[in-house]
Chain A
Amino acid sequence: MFLQKKFNMIKKPDLQLLICFLICALGIFCTVFAGYPEKHVKVVVHVSPGGGTDTMARIVLKHAGEKLGTSFIVENYKGAGGQVGYTTLAMAEPDGYTIGTITTMSFISFELTRENVAYKFESFIPIARIVNDPSGIFVRTESPIQSIEDLFERAKKHPNRISCSGTSIWGTHNIHCILLDQKCGVKLNFIPFDGVSEARNNLLGGHIDVAAGGISNFMSLLNAGKVRALVVAGRSRLKELPMVPTYHELGYDLVIGSDRGFAAPEGTPIEYVKILSETIEQVLQDSTFMKAADKMLLTPILAYLDYNEFNEYLLKLRNDVKEIVDWKRQESNK
């Protein structure tokens, strides 16, 4: 009432018009930038419900949703090792209301190793990395192999004789073994299995000699004393495994692990990506989130990278993997 009276007292009509215009402009300005996200965001998870990536996505985004005042609705698009999910994400509307999970190596490798892949690396904008799970080599506690140097010696004496279990061909741990060949001259007999639990089971049962796998997948066995880690392919020793060396200490430049994070389809406004990236960073520092992550044994592998850093990281990884794939194909043709 008061404002209306004041407004009507302004006699010059042009001034009234100007004030109206300014108010509208302010309103429009606010809607454009202060709103995101205004409605719920769909999350295309490329693996089946209940696995490591799916649970990570749900819990991170639950907290992110609380911070942003919206909800993230997870939908699982599993199939073809993740290709169904990635394709769905690449084809989605880049309006900021569809994001998805990505994991290496599948995110990088499919377009290099499969035919008829409907997307490219450039079809996505990385948002943030949550997890980096370094790959390691593990043996049963009773195994005669005592250390990584011991493994190298035995493998050089009997190339291709020591069996090593891993997950899929061109997956992180297969690439780990290829790098062992390329950089260290160590040839292991890589046996692909259908998933981490099969690879682990076969190690425990004594059917294969060593296993290449992610630290997070072997942590519970390590803690239970059933397996030993020979090496961790990280940048430096993990504080949870202070006795386990890295390749760097042995003089080899071999760093490899699985990354898990989020991405959006190419064309999504960069301001939205920035908002998501920063919110996720805040979530990872939140104490309630950390408690939940601890319960799920996620803490050792949390490794945040923002959208720029993640993008650069993935670009470099893509170039490295391309080189490795080409090298391996050449070797196999010899």
Chain B
Amino acid sequence: MVIFESLIHLFSSYAPLLMILGVMFGIFLGAMPGFGATLGIVILIPFTFGMDPALALPMLAGVYSGAIYGGSITAIMVGIPGTSAAAATVLDGYEMTKKGKSNKALTTAIFASSTGGFIGGISLLLLATTLSKFTLKFGPAEYFMLSLFGLTIIATVVGESITKGIVAGLIGLLISMVGIDPINGQDRFTFGQMYLVDGFPLIPVILALFAFPRSLEMIHEIFANRKEKLTVSKFDISGTVISFKELKGLWRTLIRSSILGTFIGMIPGAGANIACWIGYSEARRKSKHPEKFGTGIYEGVAAAEAANNSTEGGSLIPMLTLSIPGSSAAAVMFGALMIHGMVPGPMLFTKYAMTTYTYIWAIIFNSIILLAIGYYGSRLFANFARVPLMILAPIMLLVTMLGAFATRQLVFDVGLTVVLGTIFYLFSLAKFPMPAILLGVILGPIAEKGFRRAMLISHNDWTIFFTRPICLIILLLCIFSLYVSLKIMRKEKNN
């Protein structure tokens, strides 16, 4: 049976060593804001040209797993998501660091990431063909409803004022409008700049929303408290790691987030960025003490991290079975496969079955490797909090600028990050929630394209959003989700 032969094949070659290297490289890149999984894979692809795909693909898979976890390190330690998938981890992770519980947060993240990656990989292995049929059912109308559901999550991350949250979300939507109109091809708000034709690039926007303002905040803190030698957390950071008992209590959250992440990863264009929020908000909804989310509880970290790592397996389901990449990292893997002569499609499971299954097993085992490296590494990473702010802040700023440059190798993007970052810093001073803006930016294009295409296809018959079965299901989920969020908020207000 190819499935088992490939497992033996995986472990009888250099692949495990390369997987370990891949995971370490991935963690490093993921932790640097602005760099990330996609970039990591792109950098390594030329080195893999001459390699046997059964060695190259496991290594690249390791980079992805490592990077998605790595993003949570900076998210927890300094409040800056290293990758966009870690944006939800900031909410509780950073709060935990401020309370001196960074070790617990980091170890929760590693267990959650590992579980997520494992479940995503197993789903890929066992259910790929079955689940791929699910992917196809998502047409433009369904995408619109999905993005609507995503937008209701803004209510979760609102913070103090609902009004500010909604305004922030709308600002995000506005920002996402820049670029070429997806339907009639006209330039919108590009002001003649060729580099804006594709819209604001996502990484600089994320840096401008989180990294840049946070760095400025750190600098502000330094100047405000000149006498003290400041670090991120005033408490002793050699705090406890997460205990086995606490982990056991998390099993529901972990399973739920992992499954959600796998499904969302399967929907092309959704990906880890959205999965982390849905995992987080669902965990909050189902929790016995939802008002504690956002104050620094490990459940929040777990929910976000399990969801984003499971998208690795999830996004490969449509990629391997239908040649439709589920995320941008999957799209780069698509290219990696093509370069090694493996055209994604039915042949992957017939002619190239051995290599394909080796790759899938690698994803599963990478989650175990990640657990080992991440758990023992976390003590190392926790030392971030010991670094005086005076050193940390400029380093963060430098890494931010590098990260802004990294994606498109354009100085334009660096300038963009600074300009947008300054504007967002002012917004954050006024207590507008940055995650809400981010959700608007990510979901805006999905919502617009879905809506306009659906209306074009149905000839402006808007009942399409109520009559198609999946649309109806998601619509009911939206209403339910909003209702529960409002209830939670009312409870919070009364306390």
Contacts and interface: CB of A to CB of B under 8 A. Distances in A.
Contacts of B137: 205
Nearest to A294: B341
B263 interface: no
B332 A84 contact: no
B197 A200 contact: no
Given A80-B198, A197-B323, A224-B345, A116 B457 contact: no
B332 A50 contact: yes
A296 interface: yes
A201 to B, nearest CB: 5
A241 to B, nearest CB: 18
B457 A207 contact: yes
Interface string A76-96: 000111011001000000000
Contacts of A208: 139, 457
A296 B338 contact: yes
A58 B46 CA distance: 11
Given A80-B197, A83-B197, A170 B324 contact: no
Interface in B181-227: 182-185, 187, 192, 194-195, 197-198
A49 B332 contact: yes
B335 A296 contact: no
B42 interface: yes
Contact of B339 (A50, A81, A200): A50
A38 interface: no
Interface in B326-357: 331-332, 334-336, 338-339, 341, 343, 345-347
Contact of A200 (B139, B182, B324): B324
B140 interface: yes
A192 B182 contact: yes
Contact of B140 (A116, A202, A206): A202
Contacts of B318: 201
A166 to B, nearest CB: 12
B39 to A, nearest CB: 12
B198 A79 contact: yes
Contacts of B323: 197, 200, 220
A118 B194 contact: yes
B183 A84 contact: no
Given A83-B194, A189-B457, A296-B343, A169 B183 contact: yes
A80 B457 contact: no
Contact of B268 (A50, A51, A197): A197
Between B139, B338, B345, the greatest number of chain A beta carbons within 10 A of the residue's beta carbon is seen for B338
Interface in A108-144: 113-116, 118
B322 interface: yes
B198 to A, nearest CB: 6
Interface string A46-84: 001111001100100000000000000000000111011
A201 B268 contact: yes
B335 A50 contact: yes
A201 B341 contact: no
B339 A58 contact: yes
Between A163, A194, A205, A206, the greatest number of chain B beta carbons within 10 A of the residue's beta carbon is seen for A205
A116 B194 contact: yes
B447 to A, nearest CB: 14
B381 interface: no
B339 A115 contact: no
A168 interface: yes
Contacts of A297: 343
Given A58-B339, A202-B140, A191 B334 contact: no
Contacts of B336: 50
B197 to A, nearest CB: 4
Given A49-B45, A79-B195, A204 B335 contact: no
Interface residues of B, number: 44
A312 to B, nearest CB: 28
A9 B236 CA distance: 93
Interface in B443-495: 449, 453, 456-457, 459
Between A58, A163, A207, the greatest number of chain B beta carbons within 10 A of the residue's beta carbon is seen for A207
A12 interface: no
Nearest to A332: B184
B324 A201 contact: yes
Contacts of B346: 220, 224
Contact of B457 (A50, A163, A170): A163
B185 A115 contact: no
B388 to A, nearest CB: 40
Between A114, A224, A292, the greatest number of chain B beta carbons within 10 A of the residue's beta carbon is seen for A114
B409 to A, nearest CB: 9
B347 to A, nearest CB: 8
Given A50-B331, A163-B457, A197-B268, A204 B343 contact: no
A295 interface: yes
Nearest to A116: B192
A201 B408 CA distance: 28
A55 B338 contact: yes
B66 interface: no
Contacts of A116: 192, 194
A176 to B, nearest CB: 16
A43 to B, nearest CB: 13
Nearest to B181: A169
A27 to B, nearest CB: 38
Contact of B185 (A84, A113, A200, A205): A113
A196 B443 CA distance: 21
Across the A-B interface, give the 3 residue pairs with the lowest CB-CB distance, nearest first: A50-B335, A207-B139, A169-B185
Interface of B: 42, 45, 135-141, 180, 182-185, 187, 192, 194-195, 197-198, 268, 318, 322-325, 331-332, 334-336, 338-339, 341, 343, 345-347, 408, 449, 453, 456-457, 459
Given A192-B182, A197-B323, A197-B324, 14 more contacts: A48-B331, A49-B332, A81-B197, A189-B456, A191-B140, A193-B453, A194-B182, A202-B140, A205-B138, A220-B323, A220-B346, A220-B347, A296-B343, A297-B343
11 contacts: A48-B331, A50-B334, A80-B197, A113-B185, A170-B185, A192-B185, A207-B140, A220-B347, A292-B341, A295-B341, A295-B343
Interface of A: 48-51, 54-55, 58, 79-81, 83-84, 87, 113-116, 118, 161, 163, 168-170, 189, 191-194, 197-198, 200-202, 204-208, 220, 224, 292, 295-297
